[in-house]
Amino acid sequence: MTNSLRRPLIAGNWKMFLDLAGSVALARGVAAGAPPDGPEVVVAVPFTALTVVGEVLKGSKVKLAAQNLHWEKEGAFTGEVSAAQLKDAGCAAVVIGHSERRQFFGETDETVKKRLTAALAAGLLPIVCVGETLAEREDGRTFKVLETQLTGALTGFGPSQLATLVVAYEPVWAIGTGKTATPAQAQEAHLFIRKTCERLHGAALAAGLRILYGGSVKPDNADALMSEPDLDGALVGGASLKADSFLRIVKFSAPARA
């Protein structure tokens, strides 16, 4: 759970699910149930639902996010959506480099960095995803992979540019599989991510950096995960598609720490 420097953040990733009516209903449920004094709450919704969900969330404490963005400002890039268009649609945040984009749509550390640059320039809160595959973990390469992904995405910025950065550690083998990293496995990876960011951008950035865990977070494992000192929140896929399960995660209970 977060310390006083880091406000917890729980983000839902709706992926390519829900029609407009379902999106509106879910957004209403989340907005109505998110506790006013709880963690920061974000929902990353499909592009087509951004404006309708944005209307529902107006005046609530839940923030609207997109699941991707393109790095160019505008132009002949059929099928892409720019940071300015996301802002115009009401977004406050954006998910970048999700493993499904890396796996299925050719996302690389270089394109993650371009998207991050565009998101920061537009004032969108960037949630940059990193994580190893099962083969990489079994080969003992987890830290190497995380280091490469972080270095590739985060070099070339000054620490003040990255003040709003959020990193999501999402082991690929845990996403949508029902296999969650143990709290100890997640903590080990989060600490490594924090140390790597400290090496890249200094102690102050690392101390304030929010690192979310993602990978089959559910109501019944959220409390244990969030009890680890370097877990500052969660990126939730499947369990974010129902207001009651998502809100139970939002209302996680973890011992306070200094």
Which residues sit at the interface with ligand PEP, rule CB under 6 A? 13, 15, 170, 175-176, 214-217, 235-239
Distance CA 130, CA 214 (A): 10
* Structure token pair of residue 133: 């595959």
Which DSSP category does 242 fall into? S
Could you give the C-alpha distances from 111 to 128, 233, 237, in angstroms and in order? 12, 25, 23
Min dist CB 180 to ligand PEP, Å, is 8
Q: Which DSSP helix (H) or strand (E) runs through 130?
A: strand 125-130
Distance CA 117, CA 153 (A): 9
- The smaller minimum CB distance to ligand PEP, of residues 15 and 28, is found at 15
User: Which residue shows structure tokens 């493993």?
Assistant: 99
Min dist CB 160 to ligand PEP, Å, is 28
Q: What is the DSSP string of 152-184?
A: HHHTTS-TTTTTT-EEEE--GGGTTTS-PPPHH
98 is catalytic: yes
Q: Which of 107, 170, 190, 228 is catalytic?
A: 170
Q: Which DSSP helix (H) or strand (E) runs through 144?
A: helix 142-154
- The smaller minimum CB distance to ligand PEP, of residues 75 and 178, is found at 178
Min dist CB 129 to ligand PEP, Å, is 7
Min dist CB 13 to ligand PEP, Å, is 4
Q: Which DSSP helix (H) or strand (E) runs through 119?
A: helix 109-122
- The smaller minimum CB distance to ligand PEP, of residues 13 and 187, is found at 13
- The smaller minimum CB distance to ligand PEP, of residues 11 and 200, is found at 11
190 is catalytic: no
Q: Which of 40, 70, 98, 107 is catalytic?
A: 98
Active-site amino acid positions: 98, 170
